Amino acid sequence: MEKKAGKPQISERRRFLTDVAYSGGLGILGGLLWAGYTEKAKSSPLTLRPPAALEESEFLKTCIKCGLCAEACRNRPANIDRDTGRPRPGTLKMAKAQDDVTIGTPYFIPREVPCYMCDDIPCVTICPSGALDVAKVTNPKTGELDYKMMDMGLAVVDPNSCIAFWGLQCDACYRACPLMDEAIRLEYDQNKRTGKHAFLKPVVDMDACTGCGLCEKACVTEKPAIFVLPREVALGKPGDHYVKGWDKKDQERVGNRVGKDVTTHDERSSKAPQDYLNSGNLLGE
């Protein structure tokens, strides 16, 4: 083939290097966009997952989005309507693109359909990937499934909108709780406003509550005054600086920490305290 004069020749090496740069550049461009979208897709901190779900970031890695849990939930024998013979809406939903939950992953909204905490936990036993981990709801002593070990979230009471905190009589959440007197108990208090009535305040036990959301579903206020949040959202963390000195278990919590050097170093650190406290102008005059 004759080359036209004046036209720069493209050698094999140049073609190869350009091709590499071209595909590399486009690959990085596409990869960055894709990774950006994927990062965004997994940021949904308020999601309530099915029972026995792994910690959220591990769950997102492991869940294969097959929906077997949602189907098992919907078609569990207890959920079949006796009149029609057809299943009612299940607790677990599969996230769609517009939901604020990673697409295709299972979640539930307690105010719509709470978790009824089945004895046989069908959603967990059917999971093929291990994103719902049977071990998390298996009693280590008996080796049997234990619905009390479920941990989907934690119920939180808003005392401002809870009418029981106003002094009105309401124990809807307390009675709806499948672990009555364990997960929710009523705290009796004097109503000083009337002088002759009692408050029956619902109080959630952090350890016993499974986050099933039956309380949220039962709550009588317009927007529920008791609601389930993921534990990471609902709970604070005291950190290692604070410890209950009277509690052996709490001491173990901080006992194992690896201490860092927390001494403050500044200009004065090289001198002994007596030196700068006894000499110089402390008031800066």
Partner 1 sequence: MKWSNIKYLVLRRIVQLSLLALYFMGNWYGWKVLQGDLSASLLLGKIPLSDPFAILQTLATGALLATNALVGALIIMLFYGVIGGRAFCSWVCPVNMVTDLAAWLRRKLMIDRIERKIWISRNLRYYLLVIALIVSALTGLAAFEVISPITILNRGVIFGFGAGAGLLVAIFLFDLFAVKNGWCGHLCPLGGFHSLVGKYNLFRVWHTSENCTLCMKCKTVCPEVEVLNMIGKRSEFVVGKECTNCGRCVDVCDDDALGFDLRNFLSNPKGGNQ
Interacting residues toward partner 1 by CB under 8 A: 23, 27, 30-31, 34-35, 37-39, 41-42, 57-58, 60-62, 64-68, 70-71, 74-75, 86-87, 93-94, 96-99, 102-104, 126-130
Q: Which is nearer to partner 1, 127 or 186 (CB)?
A: 127
Q: Which residues contact 54 (CB under 8 A, 6 or more apart)?
A: 62, 130, 131, 132, 133
d(CA 131, CA 262): 40
61 versus 257: smaller Cβ distance to partner 1: 61
In the complex, least distance from residue 46 CB atom to partner 1, rounded to whole angstroms: 18
Using DSSP, state whether 107 is helix, strand or coil: strand
Phi, psi (rounded to 5 degrees) for 208: -80, -30
Minimum gap (Å) between residue 116 Cβ and partner 1: 17
Quick one: 129 or 138, whose CB is closer to partner 1? 129
Closest approach of partner 1 to the CB of residue 267, in Å? 44
Q: How far apart are CA 231 and CA 37, in angstroms?
A: 26
Which CB atom, from 90 or from 202, has the smaller least distance to partner 1? 90
Contact 51, 115 (CB under 8 A): yes
Contact between 139 and 119 under an 8 Å Cβ cutoff? The reply is no
Q: Shortest approach of partner 1 to residue 217 CB, angstroms?
A: 22
Least separation, in Å, of the C-beta of 134 and partner 1? 9
Q: Indicate the SS3 state at residue 158.
A: coil
103 touches 44 (CB < 8 A)? no
Smallest distance from partner 1 to CB 136, Å: 13
If the CB atoms of residues 134 and 235 are measured against partner 1, the closer one turns out to be 134
Q: Which tokens in the block code for residue 151? A: 């941990």
> Which residues are within 8 A (CB) of 55 and not within 5 positions of it... i.e. 6 or more apart?
none
Measured from the CB atom, the residue of 37 and 188 that comes closer to partner 1 is: 37
